[in-house]
Structures are given as structure tokens and as C-alpha cells.
A and B are shown apart, each in its own frame.
Chain A
Amino acid sequence: MRKRIVLSNTNALEVQGLRELDAGLGETNGEEVIGQVVGLMGSTVDSLRAVEAFKTAQGWGLFRRPGLLVREESVALSRKLIMSEEGEMLRLVIDGERGTGKSLILLHAMATAFVRGWVVLNIPEAQEVTNAMNDYAPLPGTTPTLFSQPTYTANWLSQINKANTTLLQDMELSLTHNLPIPLQSNISLSRLCELGARDPDVAWPVFQAFWAELMAKGRPPVLLALDGLNNVMRESMYRAPDTSFVHAHDLAIVNHFVGYLSGERKLGNGGAVIAATNRSHAPKSKSLDLVLTQLEERQLGEEEITEKDPFEKGYDGRVEWALGVKDVLKLKGLSKKEARGLMEYWAKSGVLRKRVDEEEVAEKWALAGNGVVGEIERGALRMRI
């Protein structure tokens, strides 16, 4: 019940003439779609649901079908994703105040990846990886010792399989693997994931084999996504044998993700690594905040870059290493045009019973801290001002 996702409201009106989110967004069209809501196709919705891209508090259940507002930032992100198919992989951190749509930009990236035929691996809540609610075991032969999470990995493999099943079914094994279970040489990657999902004890080795297959030549691009970056940029709640806390980067899954985010390892067939921060109810990480501030200042071309506080002990060198990204996408409020497009979509769905004109948009926009989209929604649909 608490985690139930409802994606349709049969009472809401169907919006006529809704565009679909297709592979062309950011390639053939872009600017003219900004400020419009696009619908998600059925197959994309199924995949997104499988990777748990929809969150409970996002209000999907109020509308007839899931739709997504196209913002200026999302078109720019689509362009970058398309470019990364050919050239260098995209490494990006999405940051922004509470309610500015970080998770939805991440969802937009995933939806774009699905419609463009990428393989998507998503960690929907980084908190679930690090808060010591799953079983864990040290991986033999690793220094420093890494810890695998068998059940979580098995579950993750089944999610990956479910979300990308049409792609993975057509891909056969191309490499030889040394796995603790017997493996036929001609099975599909989908079957490989199934084998790993079935037995948590072999889930991590199977995942590594699966990943090696994805990195082999001729495979589609890969999107690695993670929501709630703050939770992995600190020590986890797991304990090492000497009762010290295990650093989150020593958890095998996080280690895998961070290796690509930092740029240490490269995606073989192009693709992107995207992480979104969490700004409500998230642990503080001094280093994360510092690095993101510095990155943003560099992007804006400011002369003075914030420096480390010499009297602060809470910095974490591993976090600074892991955030060796070039790009940070700092989200701000919507523009008035985007806000108007969104509110018109609400009105057309019959959910907002008001006349949407310039005055109404300006009022809601201003009351929502210059267009913070979560606050606009709260004011207009949740009746809490």
C-alpha cells in the first residue's frame, strides 16, 4: 500500500492531441516542444515501472495517463544523451532545490534511453542500498574488501531483465565466463539475468558476467542511473568485521556505479551515468556540497571558486574522487511558459478547475518560489499553500 504506484485515474479527462515522447525529441525537434506535456508510450511506461522510476509522492495517479513536462533542461539533456551514443560517455550529476524536478529529469533521461533502445540500469533509491536493510557478504580476493549484497543484487537483476527484456532477449552470450553455476553458451542475456535473479548466492558473479557482455563490442549504449546520491557519498550503515562502518563506496554495487561516475572506467558502447541528489530528508555530505558548488561556479565562469574550509574535518577524499564529473545540471524553477504549459495540461485533464491565464500562472509561479515545480503542484493540486 505504501509503495503502490497508480499510474492512471479513469475519472480524469483524456487530453486531446498529446504528443508522445519518441526518439526524435532532442534530435529532430526540441525547442517547439518546450513547455508542452508529452505522453509516455505504453512500453516505456512498463519499462519505467519495472525500474521503479515512478515514485509514490509524484502524483501520477491524478491523470489519465503518465505524461512528462518537457523543460528547457530536459531537451538539453536529451541532446547530450544522443551525442553520447556516438562519442564520449556522459557523466552528469543532477542537483537542485527540493521540488525542482530532479527525479523527473532522471525519469526523462530513462524514458529517452528506453525509446532510443538503450539498456537502462537504475538504482531507484540509493538509501535502500546503504541503510543496512539487506544481507551482505565480503567478496573474496578484493582489496580493500568489497561487500556484495546478494538479495539486493538478485532483485536488481530481475528488475533489469524485466525493464529491458525485449533488448536482452535478442542478445546472446559472446564471451566465456567462469561462473559458479553451469552455463550454456548460447543463452540470451535475459536468461542470464534470470539465472542470477533466481539464486542470490551467484547474483553478483552473474551481474559481473552480464556487465562484461554489455560492454562487449556491438552492444547498445547503457544508461546507469541512481537517485539519492547523498546516501552513497558517505559511510553506509553496514559494519565491517572490526565493527567500523563500511564506506558506501566499498559496497560492490555502489563501487561499480562510482567507478563509472568518476570516469575511472569507460562505457564500451557509449551511454551515460547520471546521478540525482536528494534535497529533502537526505544525509549531509560536506564534500558533496563542496564539489557541487565548485562545479556550478566553474560552469557559470565565476572568478572566485569556493575553497575547502580549512577547519572542517568532515570532508571525504573518496567522495571528491568519485565526483570527478565535468557536468552538473543545477535545476531551478520552471519558466512562466513551462509553468503555463503544465497548468494548461492540468486544466485539460480536469484536475485543475480554474481558468489558466497569465495572471493565474504568475500568481502560482510567484507563490511557488519562482516556479519550483513541486510547489506549484502543491499549491494547485494538493490545496496546501
Chain B
Amino acid sequence: MSPRLNLFGASRSLVIRARPSITSHQSWILPVVSRRGFADEKGPNAPKGPNENALGHVSEEAADMSNIMGETGPDLGQGTPVQDILKRDKEGRGKAPEVIKEEMDGNKADSTSFANLLSLGQLESIAAGGHGTDPVTVDTVGHKYALPDLPLPKNANFKYRYDPIVAQVTNLLMKDGKLSVAQRNMSFILNHLRTAPPPVPNPVRPLLPGAPPPTHLPLNPIGYLTVAIDSVAPLLRIRSQRGAAGGGAALQIPVPLGLRQRRRQAVQWILDAANKRKSRGSGKNQFALRVADEIINVVEGKSSVWEKRQLVHKTGTSARANLNYKPGGFRR
């Protein structure tokens, strides 16, 4: 289907018209279609442009004619395709552009080729006041840059601008409330993951299902961190109910954990393991370096964190009989 050439609209846009009193907020209405507010009078008092008194164009003329003759003429609200006009106008058919002649003859030019669409798009964006390469959407009209897509993404708020896992780990790295030091450490960790050689995972310690291949991890340090943490995050914790097992012994009850809780536990285990490591040099980034090395160890399956996770899961499995314990006794 070829795009409808709207000569009608083009001629209307040349006419100087009074500005509508209501500016529309509906940006998807094409600006070439003239607008009139509901409250606008189109009476004799409305100011007229210098060439508004001219005779109507072909479509208006055809509409008037058909009105007189009692036929159904062209719909003025729609804009008449130039082909319809040419059907009526035999003289103009000879002078029509080649493209339209071909189309009327039945052999259409291929207007949907990629190059054609691309250049059309570029022309459109140039017409909208932008460059050919950076497309300008209708939203850009009147704004320097396009309006943001709604709903706003979660990280559009400057307080939540970092990835959730980065924000959480940063807070867990923080000591003595020194957030900026923790952020510096976090950025060191991510850059260390970016520059360290790709990890070699241990098949005995499988990573999260669906994790990207290890060669892809270094260039996506946040993904690397996420894979490491989510792979060792425990599914549950063990709550000890004092005296419930009889004879003063504590009853171990498995409790499922939420996503943030699971990650928090994993990060704490990683930090514990990192604190036990020895520094490899001197300087201010030693703590961050140890944490980064521990994260790599987790992905390579060498870290002691895996044992901790296994222990919790084992205890949880053996204590699953206690799941239906409620304060006051077992529920049948």
C-alpha cells in the first residue's frame, strides 16, 4: 500500500489561520492537520488571513459541485488522495508524476524497500528539526530531547539510580556509615571483575541455571556479581525454637527467605570469607581487592561459602519435619 499523498493537507497548511485558543496536549495529532478548539467560533468575527478569501481547492470545489448535483462528493474531513482527484481530472493525469502514473496504471513502484523507508524516515526527522541520523519523534517537537517513556523506569529516581544488587552490596560493604568509601570499593570491585581473567567454573558447583557463559562475564561486571551472589544465596534459614524439642533442646525450623534476604546472607558470607583472606599487597584498595577475589572464587567454586550454603540446605532438609510446628505445639 503506497502512502497517501495528502495534497489537501499541504495546501491547507499554507493558509494563515487564527491560532486555536486551546493548545492541544495530544502530541500524536499531526501538526499539518489544522485544529480548532471546541469553544472556537468560526463566525464572521474570526480573523482571516490574506489568502483565505480565495476560491476553494479542487476537493472543496468537487464537494460543492456534488452538493449541488446531489451526489456524494469527497469527504472534506479526510483529505482526498491525489489519485481520486486525478480520476476526475483528465487533464491533470497527463501532468502527474511518474510514480502516480505507474500506480494508476497498475504497476506500482516498490516503496517499501529498506533504503526507501530509511531515507523517508530521515527526511521526516529533518523536517521535524533534527538530524538525519538521530531520529526525532513527534514527542521531540517543542522539546530539545524526546520526552521520557512512561511509566518511568525504576532507576530514573536519582536515589535508586544504581542496579538494585549493586546498591544492596554497597550498603553491606559500608563500614561506620561511610557510604562514599563503600561506593569507591564497589567501583573497584566491579572494575577488578572487568579486568580479571574469565573464571573457570567448577562443574561440581553449578552456577545459577541460565547464567551467561564464563567468557561473557568480565565485560558485564554487574552480571558477574549477580551470578556469584545468586548462585550461593541460600533458599532458607534455620530458626531455632528454644525448648520446643523437649527437654530444653532447641527445635530447628526451616524458614524460607525472600530475594533480598537471600542475597544479603550470601554477601555476608562472602564478606566473612574475604575478611579471612590475606592481603596481597599494600594500598588503600586491599579490602575491595579481597572481596573481588572472593567473588571470583565463588564463581570458580573454590570458596568456602558453598559449604555454608550446603550446610544450611542440608539442615533444612533434615528439619523439614518441623515445618508444621506452631508456638504451642505441632499442628496435625
A9 near B194 with CB under 8 A, answer: yes
User: What residue of chain B has the Cβ atom nearest to residue A3's Cβ?
Assistant: B283
A6 near B195 with CB under 8 A, answer: yes
B219 near A384 with CB under 8 A, answer: no
B149 within 8 A of A: no
B245 within 8 A of A: no
With A1-B283, A2-B282 known as contacts, the answer to whether A11 contacts B219 (CB < 8 A) is yes
With A9-B195, A357-B134 known as contacts, the answer to whether A362 contacts B186 (CB < 8 A) is no
Give the residues from 97 to 145 in chain A that come closer than 8 angstroms, CB to CB, to chain B. Answer: none
* Bound: A381/B198 CA distance, A: 20
Residues of B within 8 A of A313 (CB): none
A384 near B183 with CB under 8 A, answer: yes
Partner of B195, one of A61, A350, A353, A382: A61
Residues of B within 8 A of A13 (CB): 219
CB distance from A368 to the nearest CB of B (A): 15
B161 within 8 A of A: yes
Please tell me the size bucket of the interface on A.
20 to 34
Give the residues from 370 to 385 in chain A that come closer than 8 angstroms, CB to CB, to chain B. Answer: 381-385
A358 within 8 A of B: yes
B161 near A351 with CB under 8 A, answer: no
Residues of B within 8 A of A381 (CB): 191
Residues of B within 8 A of A350 (CB): 219
User: What residue of chain B has the Cβ atom nearest to residue A61's Cβ?
Assistant: B195
A10 within 8 A of B: yes
Residues of A within 8 A of B283 (CB): 1-2
Partner of B194, one of A62, A357, A385: A62
Add 13 more A-B contacts to A9-B194, A11-B195, A12-B194 (CB < 8 A).
A1-B282, A2-B282, A9-B195, A11-B198, A11-B219, A13-B219, A61-B191, A61-B195, A359-B145, A382-B187, A383-B186, A384-B183, A384-B187
B280 within 8 A of A: yes
B281 within 8 A of A: yes
User: What residue of chain B has the Cβ atom nearest to residue A11's Cβ?
Assistant: B218
Residues of A within 8 A of B197 (CB): 10-11
Interface residues, chain B, with chain A CB atoms under 8 Å away: 134, 145-146, 161-162, 166, 183-184, 186-187, 190-191, 194-198, 218-220, 280-283
Interface of A is mostly: loop
- List, sorted by A's number, 10 A–B pairs whose CB atoms are closer than 8 Å: A11-B195, A11-B196, A11-B219, A351-B194, A351-B219, A358-B134, A362-B145, A382-B191, A384-B184, A385-B161
Residues of A within 8 A of B281 (CB): 1-2
CB distance from B225 to the nearest CB of A (A): 12
Residues of A within 8 A of B218 (CB): 11
User: What residue of chain A has the Cβ atom nearest to residue B163's Cβ?
Assistant: A383
User: What residue of chain A has the Cβ atom nearest to residue B134's Cβ?
Assistant: A358
User: What residue of chain B has the Cβ atom nearest to residue A63's Cβ?
Assistant: B195
Residues of B within 8 A of A11 (CB): 194-198, 218-219
Give the residues from 322 to 362 in chain A that come closer than 8 angstroms, CB to CB, to chain B. Answer: 350-351, 353, 357-359, 362
CB distance from B114 to the nearest CB of A (A): 21
* Bound: A11/B187 CA distance, A: 17
Give the residues from 288 to 306 in chain A that come closer than 8 angstroms, CB to CB, to chain B. Answer: none
Residues of A within 8 A of B187 (CB): 382-384
Residues of A within 8 A of B194 (CB): 9, 11-12, 62, 351
* Bound: A283/B184 CA distance, A: 25
Residue among B195, B197, B280 facing the most chain A CB atoms (10 A cut-off): B195
Q: Scoring A residues 4 to 17 as 1 if CB is less than 8 Å from chain B, else 0, what string do you get?
A: 00100111110000
CB distance from A56 to the nearest CB of B (A): 10
B162 near A353 with CB under 8 A, answer: no
* Bound: A353/B223 CA distance, A: 12
CB distance from A380 to the nearest CB of B (A): 11
Query: Nearest 3 pairs between A and B by C-beta?
Result: A1-B281, A11-B218, A2-B283
Residues of A within 8 A of B196 (CB): 11
* Bound: A385/B195 CA distance, A: 22
User: What residue of chain A has the Cβ atom nearest to residue B180's Cβ?
Assistant: A384
* Bound: A384/B185 CA distance, A: 11
* Bound: A10/B194 CA distance, A: 10
